[in-house]
Amino acid sequence: MNKQLLSSVLVAGTLLSLSGCARGLAEGYNSMGFREQKVVFVADQAEVKVKTASETLKSLPYLHAGENTVKVVREVVRDSLTRWGSDCGAQFFPKEGSYSLRMGLMHAADGWNVADQNVVRSYARANNTDYLVVVNSIDIHRGEVSNAAGKPMLGADVTLDVTVIDARQGVRAVRETTTGHFESADSPSTLVQQALGLAVDNFFVGVPEARRWGCKGLADRFK
C-alpha cells in the first residue's frame, strides 16, 4: 500500500469514529479534493433500488416529497451533496440533465468510468469543471431492527455507489460505496430521508481533505 493511499485510509478511519456509521472504501483515493473546485453532480441516471421487509412500512411511501420515488430519491441525494459541498468551500453545480454520461464516459459493472479522455477534457475546458461526481446506484432497505436495549424499532439502510471523475485529467479518481443507517420508533416517514443524509455525510467525511478544511457543519453533524 503506497503512502498516499495509507494516509487516505487512516483519515477515513479517524473520521469514521466521528460518524458512527459504516462505510466501505472500494478504490484508493487519488488526488480527490473539492475545496474551491468546480464540481458537477450527476444523479439523474442513478439506479434506484428499494426494498421493504416490514409489514408496518409497506403501506408507507419512502419519501413524502413526491409520488415518483426514483426521481425524488435522486433529488434528495443531489441536494444533500450540494449543501455539503457549499459547507466545505466547494462550488457545486447540480446540473440535472445538462450532462450526458455518454459524453466520454461508459457504464460498466463497477460504475461509470472514462471511455474517451479527450471528450471529458474538452467538456472540462468548455464548462470550467474540475470534477464530475456521478452516483451509480442508490440502494434503500427498510425493515425491523432492534436497538441496543433490544427494543423493536423501524430502520432504514442506504448505500450510495459513487464514481468521481477528475475531469481535468480525464480519469476516474475514485469509486466507492458509502452507507447510512437511521432508525426510529415513532417517525417512519423520516427513515429514508435521514439515512440518505447520513450516507452523504459519510461520503464527504471520507474525502482526505475534509478534516483539514474545517467544514463549518462537520462537528455539529455528529454530536
pLDDT tens-digit readout, 4-42: 433 333 333 333 333 334 444 455 555 566 777 888 888
Q: Contact, 103 vs 119, CB < 8 A?
A: yes
Identify the DSSP state of 159: E
Rounded to the nearest angstrom, the gap between the alpha carbon of residue 217 and the centroid of all alpha carbons in its chain is 17
Decide which of 72 and 212 is more confident. 72
Decide which of 50 and 67 is more confident. 50
- The secondary element (H helix, E strand) that includes residue 18 is helix 3-19
Q: CA-CA distance, 22 to 196, in Å (whole number)? A: 13
Residue 83's pLDDT is 80
Q: CA-CA distance, 213 to 101, in Å (whole number)? A: 30
Q: Among 22-31, 93-102, 110-119, 129-138, whose mean pLDDT is lowest?
A: 22-31
pLDDT band (50, 70, 90) for residue 216: low
Residue 221's pLDDT is 58
Question: 87 CB contacts (<8 Å, ≥6 apart)?
Answer: 215, 216, 217, 218
Residue 44's pLDDT is 85
The grid coordinates of residue 81 equal 451533496
The grid coordinates of residue 129 equal 469543471
Decide which of 2 and 135 is more confident. 135
The grid coordinates of residue 199 equal 450516507
The grid coordinates of residue 52 equal 421493504
Q: In percent, how much of the chain has pLDDT > 90?
A: 29
SS (HEC) of 19-72: HCCCEECCCCCCCCCCCCCEEEEECCCCEEEEEECCHHHHCCCCCCCCCCHHHH
The CA-based diameter of the chain, rounded to the nearest angstrom, is 56
Sole residue written with cell 467544514 = 215
Rounded to the nearest integer, the mean pLDDT of the chain is 77
Residue 12's pLDDT is 36
Residue 80's pLDDT is 87
Residue 174's pLDDT is 85
- Of 64, 26, 93, 43, nearest in space to 200 by CA: 43
Q: CA-CA distance, 28 to 175, in Å (whole number)? A: 8
Sole residue written with cell 469514529 = 17
